[in-house]
Amino acid sequence: MNMLFIYALTGTGLFFIGFYALIIHTNLLRKILALNIMGSGVFLVLISLAMRSGHSSPDPVSHAMVITGIVVAVSATALALVLMLKVVDITGKPDLHDQEDE
Amino acid sequence: MISDNLIPLFMIMSSFLPALMIFGLAEERKNLRRSLNLIGVVSTLAFVVYMFSGVYQGHHYETRFPLLPNIDLVLLAGPIALFFGALSSVLWFLTTVYAIGYLEGSPHRSRFFGFFSLCITATLGVAFSGNLITFLIFYEMLTLVAYPLIVHRGTEESRLAGQSYLMYTIFGGALLLLGTVWLYTLTGTLEFTPRGFIENVDEEHYFALVSIFILLITGFGVKAALVPLHGWLPLAMVAPAPVSALLHAVAVVKAGAFGIILVVYEVFGVEKAADMGLTQPLAVLAAITIIYGSVMALYQDDLKRRLAYSTVSQVSYIILGVAIVGPIATIGGVVHLVHQGVMKITLFFTAGNFAETLGIHKVSEMNGVGRRMPLTMTAFTIGALGMIGVPPIAGFISKWYLGLGALQADQEWVILILIGSSLLNAGYFLPILYRAWFLPSPEKWPHEHNFGSRETSLMLLIPPLITALLALIFGLLASSPYSPLEWVKLIASREFY
Amino acid sequence: MIANKNKSEDKIIRLLLIMLLTLIASMVAYAVLSLPESATNLQRLVDNNIDISGVSNPVTAVLLNFRVYDTFLEMVVLLVALLGVWSIKEVPIESMNDLKNPVLDTLVDLLVPFSLLVSIYLLWVGAHAPGGAFQAGSVFGAGLVLLMLSGRQPFLNFKGLPLHFALIISVTLFISISIYSMFATGELLKYPLSQASSIIFILEGMATVSIGLTLSLLFYGIYTKKKYK
Amino acid sequence: MMQFIMTLPWAIMLILFPLTGAIISFLWSKQGNKIGLVTITFVLISVIFLAWSIIEQDVYLHTIGGWDAPLGINLYADGLSLVMLIMTALVGLGISIYAISYFSADQSKRFWPLWLLIIAGLNALFLSSDIFNYYVALELIGLAAVSLTALGNTRKAFLGAMRYLLATLLGSLLYLFGVGLLYHGFGSLDIATLSRNVQSTPVLWVSFALMGGGLLLKTALFPLHFWLPPAHSSAPAPVSALLSALIIKSSFYILIRLWLSIFGPLGDGTVESIFGLLGAGAILWGSFQALRQTRLKLLVAYSTVAQIGYLFLAFALAMSGGSIAWNAVVFLAFSHALAKSAMFLVVGNLLRFGGHDEIIHLDRVAQRLPITTAAFALAGISIIGLPLSGGFIGKYFLLESALLQEQWGFVIILLLGSLLSAAYIFKVISHFFTPSSTPHDSKIIPANMEWAALLLALAAILLGLFSSSVLSIVDIGSPFELEGEKL
């Protein structure tokens, strides 16, 4: 089997490990990290599958998708972190389980 | 020259547009509101009369507007439409005058009269519908615009009455929609046609057709207050008197009865429905409703509730006439649409007068009212006697044709129902008449208003007098060429081979 | 403790979740493995058109020419993120001074100019080899972050309208080129052949500025949290 | 002259106008209101002219950068896209008119750039025909929507926004994974090209599962709706309106597009059943929850959960071969957008008016805010599906389609759903007329906030009256013929 499929499978594995962590953890920071791991998984799959071209250079469209994806992921992570800090500021803890104490 | 085909639309608009303008009026713009109201009423009446004469001369009035693929919104001035439309617009005119008098000085009149006008828009839409979907649209509109009138007083009691009204009618509406769409999937058309439009449906869909019939009748039965779907009607009595008058005689209840007439005659075709065995159960249901309503009326001390149960009973005469199957019974049933309308509206107008003038709400408080308010009580008496079926008032004509029709259709049991119900009618109306005319009046009325030399305000007095007079004339001149009876005979001739 | 029962329930749920996710993951893995070992996808099309794209690096050609519209929207996403961060949290423009340290100062003095240099190199090299606006912007942004971490205040004098202009310069340039291209060629973001490489270079340059500034400000928005308490 | 106007690139202006407006309102934040209104007016004008040119000259196709797909990205607008664009512009106008009075100066500064960027993103999405471009547009919309949700500046708003952000990011990642697999399986990102290339392989269905799962999460289909009520009920009123009316429609739109061109022609009926089942669950669960709520805003939010169910019920019926049901999808989506935005604006008015949204403590609103009351009632009519409204037309088509396919279960769900929705709508309306047991002070509501709600609600009603014109627009380019049938 081609080496690149091992990377692709690793990416898939990362994605689902992240998915699991996203659901299981209540701590928002971990959830955000989990989403980032999932993102990395997808990017790894895209990068490795791009190598199937057989040329010297990999598939550029797949790479372009990853670059755009990373920018988007960075933006989203920044937003998520700020929002998390705000939640911590207000409720005193980094999770979504809020006791209705207003 | 305005195209004939736009006349039905203009007629609808002549109550709809004033309604919108009235909503926009400030509460204190009394005169402008009155003028708008009256302009609307008069122009509507004018359009109806215009179409009446036009149809006599063979004109055709049909507004068509594409709505869905193969389905148009159709307003069509057919004989039945004009019959019901004329009833609605005339009674609306009187009710408007009455309501202006009745609500003098009370709050939220712009809202009230706006919805009042919309009610008529919807009722006329129902009357002039050229197909089932148009009918359904205006019918549901009627459901909705009547709601603010029912809850007009804004009390907890009226809120609950409104809630129960909506629960019943929305449920009915859902069944109607299902029946209508189902029918469309079988027939590919929903256009009302004399003798129905279901001939082309295959035998294998028999079960579907029966289900559709049940759905449609149940849907309309809610508003027509067929037992056991009548529960909302007595509760809705918390509304102001003009609303009750409108609900019972013109708009909501009548629309339900009118719907049943259309389903039997113009959707299924009465003979087809009879062949399918659908009319007999309907007749039985109507009979049960007639007796049940009358019995319940006996036990009500609240005058308006007694009248409400009387409506439950009386409206089913219409349905009975339809369900007996036969030209003569049809005449009796359909003409009762008008006869019951003028008589019942008289009763509600006068009941409102008693409440407004003397604070009387209960039968037990009515001792000697006849001497205090003779004109009002005379009108009441004519209405009540008409309901019982005393000749020569209009109610007698209806019952006479119903009886003849029953005999013609070999349904002798109906005679028993008619006799029984007339006795019950007498049982709950005659004691009122006795109290009012022959018992001495109390020292003090519950809540008396002074209207100077007259027994009550002129705007409250004239409408019931006119409707009482109409009830008499419709009975006395039943065989003159323009009477409701003659018109109904024309309609009936279209529905039977 | 009541947690005992909850814990065993928790375990069952986790187990079920693991099983479910494993199932899905193996289906995805199966699909991945079912892909043929070699495929060219759009590569041939890219190769055939690269000569008229204005650059020789295929990834840059895709990002700044063939699929430049994606990049346009991507720059907007970056702007959205910054606007989002700023709307959630008012960021104070005076920076923190808690990391004063001579060693750090010296290091930063060396590293920041270097990062600027690397950034410019990456921008330039992107036309024909791996590199480009995003990479250059990241390095530039990293330099700014370094400045902040060391207690320098890169945004103390560079704020308000000028800063805002710098942040939107890339999106604005994209809009301008969109309009220009509509007039010049009738098609959105189609560059006249002779101008393609210069337009791409300008776009990349401005994108670098916007990306670098935005990334560092995103970081700044998160990092300045302590100041609030 | 007219010819010249028609040849102008209106579709591109739909994207560039709001982007430019956003940037200007970012730079001159004090003038946000004016800039916003001017921008949305331009958007509306552009949509009108685009509609005109599409009606006259058939579907719109534009190759960006001169590179035809699959190498480049194509803009494509047929009847379906056009209806979505019209929906965006109309709802956008209503929300903008409302927003100029709703926000404080400080909030307004943050609101306008993000809101205009959302409009740009939505327009870009509805005009696009590229699955990766969809992803970028989705993220643009999603991040901006989350930021606006947080604008509520309350504990609940931040928590709601956080939950929303996590859900929407998860959805995007699932979608992106699917896009990646689809690209590597069939060598294109362009929908039309893909529809020619695809075959029923594991790659195809796994990517559908991933993309579909992500989109369902973003559309908040039961049981993936958990994030919606907290977010939609805690955001500021105009934001709740745009979330419920527009944002969830964007992911739903992508799902329809993908299904019609790529997956639908190869499907075997499983997906239909699943969607139908989930849709039915959403209708019952959402309506039931709405009925249980004591706070108006939550009631309206749960009503959205139920209404999404209708979209999927229609989708399921349409997928199993009912062309009528596609019309239902369009009408349900469009009328829900108008009616639900109106409803959230009404809630905003009531919240400001009485300082609370406890349903049983609404105090004679019918008398004191007649326009707002009318707006709620008209919007309610469309939500319930009473005639004659856009919602009615949608449910009519749905019922017809279910009856034609003899799907009796769906028929019952439809009726039950309508009754439940009537129950929760009228539960609210009935308290409009009565005085509250605890009378309270009231604040004055600016006229534009009342009228914005009323006009949106009125539009939902008029949609029913002019359904035949809407249908003829939807039909342009036959968006609902599966690709296989078109050949």
**pLDDT (tens digit per residue) in D320-337:** 766 788 999 999 999 999
C-alpha distances out from residue A46 to A6, A62, A75, B141, D257, Å: 13, 6, 20, 57, 23
Q: In this model, does residue A52 exceed pLDDT 90?
A: no
> B41: closest CA among B8, B6, B14, B21?
B14
Q: Please give, rounded to a whole number of angstroms, the shortest distance from the CA of D452 to a CA of chain A.
A: 31
What's the burial of B8, exposed, middle or buried (CB within 10 Å: 0-12/13-18/19+)? buried
> C82: closest CA among C141, C136, C126, C123?
C141
B171 touches chain D (CB under 8 A): yes
Q: Are D189 and A61 within 8 A, CB to CB?
A: yes
Average pLDDT (D20-31) is 93
Phi, psi of B57 (to 5 degrees): -90, 10
Q: In this model, does residue D264 exceed pLDDT 90?
A: no
Cβ–Cβ contacts within 10 Å for residue D175, how many?
29
In this structure, are residues C116 and C143 in contact, taking their beta carbons and an 8 Å threshold? yes
CA distance B208 to B272: 15
CA distance D339 to D91: 9
Phi-psi region of D472 (alpha: psi -120 to 50; beta: other; left: phi over 0): alpha
Q: Please give, rounded to a whole number of angstroms, the shortest distance from the CA of C34 to a CA of chain D.
A: 7
Structure tokens belonging to residue A78: 């920044």
D394, closest residue in chain B (CA to CA): B68
Query: Please, which residues have CB within 8 angstroms of residue A93's CB and are 6 or more apart in sequence?
Result: none
Rg (CA), chain D: 21
In the prediction, which pLDDT does B2 show? 60
The answer to the question of residue D246 being in a domain is: no
Q: Are C32 and D19 within 8 A, CB to CB?
A: no
Chain B, chain D: beta-carbon pairs less than 8 Å apart: 84
Phi, psi of D201 (to 5 degrees): -115, 170
Q: How many angstroms separate the first and last alpha carbons of chain A?
A: 59
Token pair 């004691």 in the structure block, residue: B431
In this structure, are residues B446 and B367 in contact, taking their beta carbons and an 8 Å threshold? no
Task: Name D130's bridge partners.
Answer: D190
Q: Are A42 and D184 within 8 A, CB to CB?
A: no
D485 touches chain C (CB under 8 A): no
**pTM for this structure?**
0.94
**pLDDT (tens digit per residue) in B86-123:** 899 899 899 999 998 888 878 888 889 999 999 999 99
Reported as half-sphere exposure (CB side, CA atoms, 13 A), residue D423 has a value of 17
Q: Are D169 and A76 within 8 A, CB to CB?
A: yes
Q: Which of the residues D114, D147, D168, D169 would you substitute to probe the C interface, choosing the one with the greatest number of C C-beta atoms within 10 Å?
A: D147
Positions of chain B with pLDDT lower than 70, given as ranges = 1-2, 497
> A91: closest CA among D235, C224, D156, C84?
D156
Contacts C222 to A, Cβ<8 Å:
78, 81-82, 85
CA distance B369 to B354: 8
**pLDDT (tens digit per residue) in D156-211:** 999 999 999 999 999 999 999 999 999 999 999 999 999 999 999 999 999 999 99
**pLDDT (tens digit per residue) in B309-339:** 999 999 999 999 999 888 899 999 999 999 9
Delineate the domains of chain A, giving CATH numbers in brackets. 3-91 (1.10.287.3510)
In this structure, are residues B61 and B54 in contact, taking their beta carbons and an 8 Å threshold? yes
C-alpha distances out from residue C73 to C26, D137, D145, D251, D281, Å: 34, 7, 16, 17, 36
Interface of B with D in 177-196 (CB under 8 A): 177-178, 181-182, 184-185
In the prediction, which pLDDT does B285 show? 94
Mean pLDDT, chain D, integer: 92
Is the sign of the CA dihedral C110, C111, C117, C118 positive or negative?
positive
3-state secondary structure of B115: helix
Structure tokens belonging to residue A55: 């040329």
Q: Are C77 and D187 within 8 A, CB to CB?
A: no
Q: Angle B210-B212-B218 (CA atoms, 0-180°, nearest 5)?
A: 100
CA distance B151 to D38: 43
In this structure, are residues D17 and D43 in contact, taking their beta carbons and an 8 Å threshold? yes
Across the interface, which of A2, A60, A79 has its CB nearest the CB of C81? A79
Q: Are B67 and D467 within 8 A, CB to CB?
A: yes
The total number of structural domains that make up chain D: 1
The answer to the question of residue D430 being in a domain is: yes
In the prediction, which pLDDT does A99 show? 58
The beta strands (E) that lie in D33-95 are given as: 60-63, 74-77
CA distance C227 to C153: 14
Cβ–Cβ contacts within 10 Å for residue C59, how many?
25
Q: Are D155 and A80 within 8 A, CB to CB?
A: no
C38 touches chain D (CB under 8 A): no
Q: Are A80 and D169 within 8 A, CB to CB?
A: yes
Q: Which of the residues D7, D10, D19 would you substitute to probe the C interface, choosing the one with the greatest number of C C-beta atoms within 10 Å?
A: D19
Token pair 């409204």 in the structure block, residue: D389
Q: Do chains A and D touch (3 or more CB pairs under 8 A)?
A: yes
D26, closest residue in chain C (CA to CA): C164
Q: In this model, does residue D439 exceed pLDDT 70?
A: no
Reported as half-sphere exposure (CB side, CA atoms, 13 A), residue B477 has a value of 12
Give how far the C-alpha of residue D374 lies from the chain's centroid of Cα atoms, to the nearest Å.
22
In this structure, are residues D129 and D111 in contact, taking their beta carbons and an 8 Å threshold? no
The answer to the question of residue D364 being in a domain is: yes
Interface of D with C in 46-85 (CB under 8 A): 62-67, 70-73, 75
CA distance B64 to B130: 9
Phi, psi of D190 (to 5 degrees): -85, 135
Contacts A52 to C, Cβ<8 Å:
35-39
Instruction: Name the residue ranges covered by the structural domains of chain B.
Output: 326-497
Roughly what angle, to the nearest 10 degrees, separates helices B79-102 and B252-262?
Answer: 170
Structure tokens belonging to residue B116: 């009042």
In this structure, are residues D77 and D85 in contact, taking their beta carbons and an 8 Å threshold? yes
C88, closest residue in chain D (CA to CA): D150
Across the interface, which of C30, C34, C87 has its CB nearest the CB of D150? C87
C179 touches chain D (CB under 8 A): yes
Interface of C with A in 81-110 (CB under 8 A): 81-82, 84-85, 88-89
In the prediction, which pLDDT does C116 show? 93
D19 touches chain C (CB under 8 A): yes
Across the interface, which of D136, D170, D180 has its CB nearest the CB of A68? D136
Q: Which of the residues A27, A42, A87 would you substitute to probe the D interface, choosing the one with the greatest number of D C-beta atoms within 10 Å?
A: A42
The answer to the question of residue D274 being in a domain is: no
C-alpha distances out from residue C64 to A61, A74, C2, C119, Å: 12, 20, 59, 18
> How sure is the predictor about D6, in pLDDT bands with cuts at 50, 70 and 90?
confident
Contacts D170 to A, Cβ<8 Å:
19, 22, 35, 38
Positions of chain C with pLDDT lower than 50, given as ranges = 1-3, 226-229
A21 touches chain C (CB under 8 A): no
C-alpha distances out from residue D447 to B57, B259, D100, D371, Å: 52, 41, 11, 9
Contacts A42 to D, Cβ<8 Å:
173, 176-177, 180
D475 touches chain C (CB under 8 A): no
Task: Name A7's bridge partners.
Answer: none
Q: Are D386 and B140 within 8 A, CB to CB?
A: yes
Chain A, chain C: beta-carbon pairs less than 8 Å apart: 122
Q: Do chains D and B touch (3 or more CB pairs under 8 A)?
A: yes
C-alpha distances out from residue B378 to B347, B400, B476, Å: 10, 24, 17
Q: Are D430 and B173 within 8 A, CB to CB?
A: no
The answer to the question of residue D5 being in a domain is: no
Q: What is the DSSP string of B207-248?
A: HHHHHHHHHHHHHHHHHTT-TTS-THHHHGGGS-HHHHHIII
The answer to the question of residue D191 being in a domain is: no
A81 touches chain C (CB under 8 A): yes
Torsion of CA D155, D159, D160, D165, to 10 degrees: 140
What ipTM score was computed for the predicted complex, to two decimals?
A: 0.92
Across the interface, which of C49, C73, C189 has its CB nearest the CB of D124? C73
In this structure, are residues D328 and D344 in contact, taking their beta carbons and an 8 Å threshold? no
CA distance B23 to B21: 5
In the prediction, which pLDDT does C228 show? 42
Cβ–Cβ contacts within 10 Å for residue D435, how many?
14
Q: Please give, rounded to a whole number of angstroms, the shortest distance from the CA of B43 to a CA of chain D.
A: 25
Contacts B240 to D, Cβ<8 Å:
none
CA distance B200 to B241: 47
Structure tokens belonging to residue B161: 């009455």
CA distance C208 to C185: 26
In this structure, are residues B478 and B353 in contact, taking their beta carbons and an 8 Å threshold? no
Torsion of CA D282, D285, D287, D291, to 10 degrees: -160
C-alpha distances out from residue B110 to B113, D103, D267, Å: 5, 33, 57
In the prediction, which pLDDT does D157 show? 92
Reported as half-sphere exposure (CB side, CA atoms, 13 A), residue D443 has a value of 13
C21 touches chain D (CB under 8 A): no
DSSP label of B333: H
Chains with 3+ CB–CB pairs under 8 A to D are A, B, C
In the prediction, which pLDDT does B445 show? 83
Structure tokens belonging to residue B45: 């009446």
Helix, strand, coil fractions of chain B, as percent rounded to 5: 75, 5, 20
Across the interface, which of B111, B162, B170 has its CB nearest the CB of D422? B170
Structure tokens belonging to residue C105: 């100062």
The answer to the question of residue D315 being in a domain is: yes
> D213: closest CA among C12, A36, A16?
A16
DSSP label of D342: H
Q: Please give, rounded to a whole number of angstroms, the shortest distance from the CA of D200 to a CA of chain B.
A: 35
Q: What is the DSSP string of D110-157?
A: HHHHHHHHHHHHHHHHHHB-BHHHHHHHHHHHHHHHHHHHHTT-SHHH
CA distance D226 to D10: 38
C86, closest residue in chain D (CA to CA): D110
- Structural domain of residue D419, as residue ranges? 291-482
Phi, psi of B177 (to 5 degrees): -60, -45
Mean pLDDT, chain B, integer: 89
Mean pLDDT, chain A, integer: 89
Q: Please give, rounded to a whole number of angstroms, the shortest distance from the CA of A94 to a CA of chain C.
A: 14
In the prediction, which pLDDT does B497 show? 58
Q: Which of the residues A4, A67, A89 would you substitute to probe the C interface, choosing the one with the greatest number of C C-beta atoms within 10 Å?
A: A67
In the prediction, which pLDDT does A46 show? 94
In the prediction, which pLDDT does C2 show? 46
